Amino acid sequence: MAKPALGRGLDALLGGVPATRESSAPAAQTPISPDASAAAPGTERVQRVALNRIRPCPFQPRKDFPEEALRELADSIRAQGIVQPLIVRARGDGFELIAGERRWRAAQLAGLAHVPVLVREADDTAALELALIENLQRENLNPLEEAQGYKQLLDLFNLRQEDIASKVGKSRVAVANALRLLNLPGEVQAHLRSGRLSVGHAKVILGLRLPAEQTLASEQVIRNGLSVRQTEDLVARLGQAGMRQPGAASAPRDAVGPRDVHVVALESRLQERMGTKVNLRYRQGRGTIEIRFHSEDELSRLLELLGVTAE
């Protein structure tokens, strides 16, 4: 059997509980309580609860639920039931979703009165972590939803990038690069969210320093159907044009002319590898590389990435 894509699989997190199918009568080999309140504390079995007792979680990283996909899932649920139970935690006299909001929404469309659930004891950090892991394993999140989930872990729960990477089975560079997408202008983020721009395009566009340039580049990429390689050329040309503008903020102080296309492309690759802003200045075989950081933790991450030990 293939190893799960993420370091911590859902089976491990859920204690290896098998999936069940929603039906009019519970299967003999899988005891299902008529209501979660009847279950003994700390049990890890599938239970049936009223759909109207479940509400969504505010920490759910996934925000986009296409209506057509929900209708298709609702049709499947009517025919086959819910194959995998929702994961919830007790809240007041009801339950709050940790994972499975798409199934919950589709169950409403399908007209179900009860759904199978697993009731977990989870604080806010664990709830967001589990929601992220489930969605990442299923590839349900768009790139910005993934980045927003990481940002929630950073801002709300004071986790470091390396902590997040360890929890979701990603490299720290992957987490850092995902977070960089949140620096793009709103218009560019909208294109990325809808799939009109790929993550590869967005990473190249981040090589431009001004939001107006980034927005212009994204529009040209979409209009002309440019590949990532063609986008690198476009970003280089836009960078050159920006430097020729009088007083352009994007021009380095020692600039004497347009930047070489290959230098701009290399700078973009360096930024992706380092997961932070990098300025590459090159002239006749000499130059400088400026790597920016915004916290002690980020500096430690960069030093480790470079193989440097702080003494």
DSSP 15-37: TTPPP----SS--TTS---SSGG
Amino acid at 4: P
- Contact by Cβ (8 Å): 55, 96: yes
Q: Just list the catalytic residues.
A: 101
Same-domain check for residues 113 and 151: no
CATH number (domain holding residue 261): 1.10.10.2830
End-to-end CA distance of the chain: 44
Same-domain check for residues 111 and 260: no
Structure token pair of residue 53: 């007792």
Q: Say yes or no to pLDDT of 241 above 70.
A: no
Same-domain check for residues 50 and 183: no
pLDDT confidence bin for 253, thresholds 50/70/90:
very low
Give a yes or no: residue 240 inside a domain: yes
Instruction: Summarize pLDDT for 160-180 with one digit per residue, the tens.
Output: 888 888 877 888 888 888 999
What's the mean per-residue pLDDT of the chain?
A: 76
Average pLDDT over residues 113-136: 81
From 138, 162, 189, the end of a domain falls on 138
pLDDT confidence bin for 20, thresholds 50/70/90:
very low
From 78, 103, 138, the end of a domain falls on 138
Choice between 261 and 185, residue whose per-residue pLDDT is larger: 185
pLDDT confidence bin for 294, thresholds 50/70/90:
confident
Same-domain check for residues 121 and 150: no
Structure token pair of residue 8: 């911590």
Residue 214: what pLDDT? 93
Same-domain check for residues 67 and 80: yes
Same-domain check for residues 283 and 256: yes
Numbers of helices and strands, H then E, in the chain: 13, 7
Beta carbons within 10 angstroms of residue 68's beta carbon: 7
Same-domain check for residues 167 and 265: yes
Sign of the CA dihedral with 265 first, then 266, 268, and 273 last: positive
CA–CA gap between residue 57 and residue 34 (Å, rounded): 23
Structure token pair of residue 215: 């927005």
Same-domain check for residues 239 and 277: yes
**0.85 exceeded by the pTM?**
no
Q: Domain count of the chain?
A: 2
Same-domain check for residues 167 and 228: yes
- Contact by Cβ (8 Å): 55, 93: no
From 105, 138, 171, the end of a domain falls on 138
Choice between 44 and 136, residue whose per-residue pLDDT is larger: 136
Map tokens 């296409």 to a residue.
66
Same-domain check for residues 57 and 177: no
Q: Say yes or no to pLDDT of 38 above 70.
A: no
Give a yes or no: residue 88 inside a domain: yes
Same-domain check for residues 237 and 94: no
Residue 80: give the domain boundaries. 10-138
- Contact by Cβ (8 Å): 228, 200: yes
Which of 26-35, 60-69, 113-122, 256-265 shows the lowest mean pLDDT across its residues?
Answer: 26-35
